[in-house]
Structure 1
Amino acid sequence: MASEITSEITAKTSKTTPVTVKPVVNAIRILRFLSESSVPERAVDIARKLDINPSTCFNILRTLVNEDMVEFSPMSKRYSAGLGLARLVEQFVTQGQKVQLAKPLLEAFASSSRVTVTLWRRMGSDRIVIVSSAACPTDVRIDMTEGQRLPILMGASGRLFASQLSLESEEVRTMFEKIRWGMPLSFDEYCAQVTEASKRGWAVDDGYFSIGILAVAAPVYSSSGTIDFTVSAVMFRGQKNDKEIAELGESLCNLARELENVLF
């Protein structure tokens, strides 16, 4: 019986100081409070219970009302969670349900290919996140944690997301230079790898994300032609030869097309 080795990969990114914007934090606290409250609440009571300055609380509530996140009753002078918030939550739930439907496809591919498979989603303009993963249950494996985030340019998936960015822009170059790679990689080499991935249809990261790890990724296109997700196979370097890696890349492209039917 094959032994099981669990190796959790930690992203090697530049150290940044977390930024906290207090009005945003307070807005989230208010939305959470109203979504959990069984009855509409007055502004003064919300401010008191959440220990927020009454004037600040009122201004945040007024903004949330304008954005349809909170409803205000002129008769009772009370606030409650709005329809806009419900629609926003519904969109996330729907996407989460679709990701769950994709899980069996990832598990089947991981088992047959003897690799760890991850589904990455783009988050904003500068990050990607693992929304689902599956590892081969009977072989040496690498565990990738769901929820793990990386800079959008990093890894095999990063090279695919980068293909839809302007690599000539100073902003992208700055993003690249902040990344701590497992092995030295120049920006020109990176751009060449992005171009090659675009022509081939799938991307490779051979030890640059983490020494000893090789990843192959294929794009999952939305109906509008954007890359919102990627599917990646992660393995130890040397686990497969060049021919097998190429075959894996093509197989991932086929899996990506199946995922398109599930996710979009």
Structure 2
Amino acid sequence: MEDNMNGIEEKKKPKYNVPALDSAFKILTLLSRKKFSKSNLTEISKALSLTPTTCFRILQKLEELSIVRFDKSSKRYSLGPYLVVLGERAKENQFDISVIIPYLESLSEKTGLTAFLVSRIGKNRSTIIAKSEGEEFGINVSVGRHFSVIDGSYGKCLLAYLEEEDAVELLHSNEGLRSMSSEEIQELIKELPTIRENGYATTFGEYIDGIVGISAPLFNTDGSVDMAISIIGMTAQFNDKEIVKMGELIKRIGQEVSFKISGYESKK
């Protein structure tokens, strides 16, 4: 019999914090951003609120492992060559991505738009991990670029399948591309059930002027969502009927991809 049948509540696993590891990951994430791709010790420690001594020790170890590179002449750090090796091995071992990329290519060919795959990273962030740029109306996006988990149509997809209290907490953190008022946050919270019902989410210039985004969730085996596929274009290219048509297209593709990578079969 299950423990809860005997009146015993299941205990949550404790969360362990490893400060040095957490700081090392933050350093690598910072150096992956264009603005900080070549930064000195002061810039890195200030941006991450780390003491220069702690920051220097971590950078030294990362440099020893060729995970970061130090230029003696400029005294600046950048991402190191061994990350290329790790990245290639990660791609080789990521069955999900190898399955999804052909769908992104097909989607960009059918629409002429840029199609990309977004994955949640940790609690608050998301990143682009694969893309296919359309030849006709493609908008350039950068693989590896980080966003707040609440940003864009892909953020709406991720939020829609979270527990409501988690979604509300993330929205009230207001760490996205645009600062939202309390009224706007409430409107978005009310929109989340509609997103689940429709099977896709849209944005129309509210995050980036002139840009429309349409995204569909990719489901895990248990119905949770950590990834979304998206297309983006110019608002001038779309009317309401075209957005619905694109939404239904990306929804169908998302359902097919979800079934292939996790066996999850949508009922809608």
TM-score category, normalised to shorter length: 0.5 to 0.7
Q: The residue matched to 2:48 in structure 1 has which SS?
A: coil
Structure 1 residue ranges without an equivalent (≥5): 1-9, 11-15, 37-87
* Maintained 8 Å contact 1:182/1:207: no
* Maintained 8 Å contact 2:113/2:232: yes
* Maintained 8 Å contact 1:183/1:211: no
Q: The residue matched to 1:98 in structure 2 has which SS?
A: helix
Per the alignment, residue 198 of structure 2 pairs with 200
Per the alignment, residue 227 of structure 1 pairs with 225
Per the alignment, residue 141 of structure 1 pairs with 138
The separation in 1 between residues aligned to 2:250 and 2:259, in whole angstroms, is 14
* Higher relative contact order, structure no. (Cα contacts within 8 Å, ≥ 6 residues apart): 1
* Maintained 8 Å contact 1:110/1:117: yes
Per the alignment, residue 246 of structure 2 pairs with 248
Per the alignment, residue 156 of structure 2 pairs with 159
CA 1:27 to 1:258, structure 2 compared with 1: closer, same or farther past 3 Å? farther
Structure 2 residue ranges without an equivalent (≥5): 1-33, 35-45, 68-85, 263-268
CA 1:24 to 1:214, structure 2 compared with 1: closer, same or farther past 3 Å? same
CA 1:134 to 1:161, structure 2 compared with 1: closer, same or farther past 3 Å? same
The separation in 2 between residues aligned to 1:100 and 1:25, in whole angstroms, is 37
Q: The residue matched to 2:218 in structure 1 has which SS?
A: strand
Q: Deviations over 1:192-233 (max 9, x none)?
A: 222221121110111111010000100000112110110011
* Structure whose CA Rg is larger: 1
Q: Percent identical across equivalent pairs?
A: 21
The separation in 2 between residues aligned to 1:165 and 1:126, in whole angstroms, is 12
The separation in 2 between residues aligned to 1:95 and 1:199, in whole angstroms, is 33
Q: The residue matched to 2:140 in structure 1 has which SS?
A: coil
The separation in 2 between residues aligned to 1:195 and 1:25, in whole angstroms, is 47
* Maintained 8 Å contact 1:163/1:195: yes
Please report the TM-score for the alignment, with normalisation by the length of structure 1.
Answer: 0.63
Name the aligned partner's letter for residue 250 of structure 2.
L
Bigger fraction of residues in helix: 2
The separation in 2 between residues aligned to 1:181 and 1:31, in whole angstroms, is 34
State the shift of 1:162 in Å.
0.9
* Maintained 8 Å contact 1:121/1:230: yes
